[in-house]
Amino acid sequence: MKKNKKPILTLISLYGIENRGVRYISSFLTRHGYPVNIIFFKQWVNNAIRPPSQKEVKLLMELLSGLESLLIGIGLGTPYLRIATQLTKEIKRRFKAPVVWGGVHPTISPEDGIEIADMVCVGEGEEPLLDLMRALERRESPEGISNLWIKVKGRMQKNALRPLIEDLDHLPFPDYGGRDKYFIEDNRLKRCDPLLKDSEYRIYPTRGCPFNCKYCNNSILRKIYREKGKYYRSRSPENVITELEYARNYFKCLRRIKFDGDTFFFAKEWISRFSSLYKERIGIPFEILLHPDLANRQTLSQLRKAGLIKIQVGLQSGSKKELKEVYGRDTPNQQILQFAHLAKDLGIEVVYDLIWDNPLSTRKDKKEMLHMLLQIPRPFKIYMYSLTHFPKTALTNELLDLGMIKPEEVEGRATKSFRQFRLSLWYPRPKEELFWISLCSLTSKSFIPRFFIRFLSRRSLLEKKPATLKWLAFTCDFLKASGMAIEMLFQGELNPIKLKQYGSLRKLISQ
């Protein structure tokens, strides 16, 4: 390596071209003078995730051989544990650079990574990766760096967590564009940032979550970070707006903003300032994720005037018992209905998230779900998810203790989400479950009378033999999806990324 040439960090994002964690780390290290390459290895496709081909692995190894990396990082979620293991073994066989894992799964289950990688980053990675690069550059031992689990002379060094980053405004914006981005997909290597073709920009105005749902990773992360600072943190309105202005320089086809994170939860003063700035300086239609407990007319009216067109709400179940005891949520149905009418009055589209394939769900729970959906004012959309058993969540542990799932069904060891994440009607499941799923799918179709859905729900023969009902639901899904695709086309929001992720007819999802 030439003198004065800064060592290079290469980050590999598995099945995530958005991967904000990797992009934030890249920007943070670049700010401190360290060049960073990002390799986007494969793209997430709903219910059709395939392991990498031999050629794709070969392309990755050939690319790494030419990048002269001092450190190689792999960012992964739980479903890709096996793939990360395979790739790490191949990288370590070919290269001397140490490999560090980071992301949600290594944070929750670092013991899975330290057996394979040289190091595991637990929690937020910006500062630990900077300290690690400095140590490697100076040829110093990294064994004392906070947030890292490290193999040192045959033993495992588990370092303590550093406090959470409180001032999110201090962080640089995610890294986009440039010649240091690579994309491997469909047995081809491209030098590009694949995300820039998207017409939607996702921004994270917060870190953490104010809630503690039993099926969610936040319930684990909150425990991991106990006494390490405020778990739910937010950025200033000015900082959020400045990022959106920054993003517009890269996303030339931008038509919509989506505020990601776990919920859009801010003080009244924040909402007021944000709404004013957004309307003045951005003016692009946007959508948010919102817990119904946080909705009120004043807040939604301000956001609507600023450009809010869509809210995604976690309904999960219409059964009060299931919602509280199984999912750890406690929002009365009446409150959801009040929110639904408020959103309709303000002209805001609403999408309700539902969870299915839960072994604790009873027939009564499913019936109450249908009853709840039939009360929600139309039009609305639904996103139906198949319950994924992520490791160490309270719900997964409960199901394991009850013997209702086996350890090999926990995601990471299992890869159910490769085939069934957003729910599709063609995935094999019990007839009773299919019956109620099909009925609930029909509730969001304004062209299907509600009295007809109630009539179908009382047909015991359909519950025993739901194939006809499934075809009806599928046909209605197809009709609605076709209308949405045409609308997106005219609005300039239909792009190759969305087609790749959701364009399979066989795996058509309910809306």
* Closest CA relative to residue 382, chosen from 390, 370, 391: 370
Task: Return the beta strands (E) in 329-444 as ranges.
Answer: 349-356, 381-386
State whether CATH 3.40.190.10 applies to domain 198-502: no
502 pLDDT above the threshold of 90:
no
pLDDT tens digits, one per residue of 370-386 = 999 999 999 999 999 99
Which contiguous run of DSSP H or E holds residue 152? Answer: strand 148-152
Helices (H), 138-236: 218-224
- Residue 154 has a pLDDT of 76
Q: Is the pLDDT of residue 84 over 50?
A: yes
Find out whether 241 and 279 touch, Cβ atoms under 8 Å: no
C-alpha torsion angle, residues 291, 293, 298, 299 (rounded to 10): -30
Q: What pLDDT, on a 0 to 100 scale, did the predictor assign at position 87?
A: 98
Q: So what's the pLDDT on residue 3? A: 47
Phi, psi of 309 (to 5 degrees): -120, -15
Q: Are 76 and 69 in contact (CB under 8 A)?
A: no
Q: Tens of pLDDT along 411-435?
A: 999 999 999 999 999 999 999 999 9
Inform me whether the pLDDT recorded for 93 exceeds 90: yes
The pLDDT assigned to 82 comes to 96
The token pair at 85 is: 């293991």
C-alpha distances (whole Å) from 278 to each of 56, 238, 305, 320, 392 are 42, 9, 10, 37, 39
Mean pLDDT for the chain overall: 93
Among 151-165, 297-311, 465-479, whose mean pLDDT is lowest?
A: 151-165
CATH 3.80.30.20 location in the chain: 198-502
102 phi/psi in degrees, rounded to 5: -150, 170
Task: Read off the pLDDT of residues 356-373 as tens digits, 9 standing for 90 and up.
Answer: 999 999 999 999 999 999
At residue 284, the pLDDT reads 96
Q: How confident is the model at residue 505 (pLDDT cuts 50, 70, 90)?
A: low
Distance CA 459, CA 473 (A): 16
* 205 C-beta neighbours (distance < 10 Å), count: 22
Q: Which of 51-60, 151-160, 233-242 has the lowest mean pLDDT?
A: 151-160
Provide the token pair at 101. 């894992």
Q: How far apart are CA 456 and CA 470, in angstroms?
A: 12
Q: How far apart are CA 500 and CA 43, in angstroms?
A: 9
Read off the pLDDT of residues 280-318 as tens digits, 9 standing for 90 and up: 999 999 999 998 888 899 999 999 999 999 999 999 999
Q: Is the pLDDT of residue 494 over 90?
A: no
Question: In this predicted model, what pLDDT tens digit does every residue of 183-202 receive, in sequence order?
Answer: 999 999 999 999 999 999 99
Over residues 72-77, the mean pLDDT reads 97
pLDDT in tens, 209-222: 988 899 999 989 99
Total residues found in the chain within this entry: 511
- The β-bridge relationship of strands 155-158 and 188-190 is unpaired
pLDDT(158) > 80: yes
503 class by beta-carbon count within 10 Å (0-12 exposed, 13-18 middle, 19+ buried) = middle
DSSP annotation of 417: G
Helix, strand or coil for residue 153?
A: coil
Residue 507 pLDDT > 80: no
506 pLDDT tier (thresholds 50, 70, 90): low
**CB of 417 closer than 8 Å to CB of 48:** no
439 pLDDT more than 60: yes
DSSP state of 178: S
The alpha-helical segments, DSSP class H, found in 374-423 are 394-401
Instruction: Give the number of other Cβ atoms within 10 Å of residue 181's Cβ.
Output: 23
Class of domain 8-182: alpha beta
The structure tokens listed for 84 are 């990360």
The pLDDT assigned to 2 comes to: 43
Which part of the chain has CATH 3.40.50.280?
8-182
The enclosing H or E element of 150 equals strand 148-152
Beta strands 206-207 and 233-234: pairing type? antiparallel
With beta carbons less than 8 A apart as the criterion, state whether 286 and 259 touch.
Answer: yes
What does the pLDDT look like over 13-67, one tens digit per residue?
A: 999 999 999 999 999 999 999 999 999 999 999 999 999 999 999 999 999 999 9
Contacts of 3 (CB under 8 A, 6+ apart): none
Q: How many CB atoms lie within 10 A of CB 508?
A: 20
Amino acid identity of 80?
Y
% of the chain beyond a pLDDT of 70: 98
Strands across the sheet with 99-102, in order? 155-158, 148-152, 119-121, 99-102, 69-75, 8-14, 36-41, 181-185, 188-190
Identify whether the C-beta of residue 268 lies closer than 8 Å to the C-beta of residue 237. Answer: no
Query: In the block, which residue shows the tokens 């490290």?
Result: 150
Report pLDDT for 1.
40
* pLDDT above 90 for 330: no
Q: Is the bond preceding residue 379 a cis peptide, omega within 30 degrees? A: yes
CA distance 46 to 470: 20
Q: Is the pLDDT of residue 337 over 50?
A: yes
Place 69 in a pLDDT band, splitting at 50, 70 and 90: very high
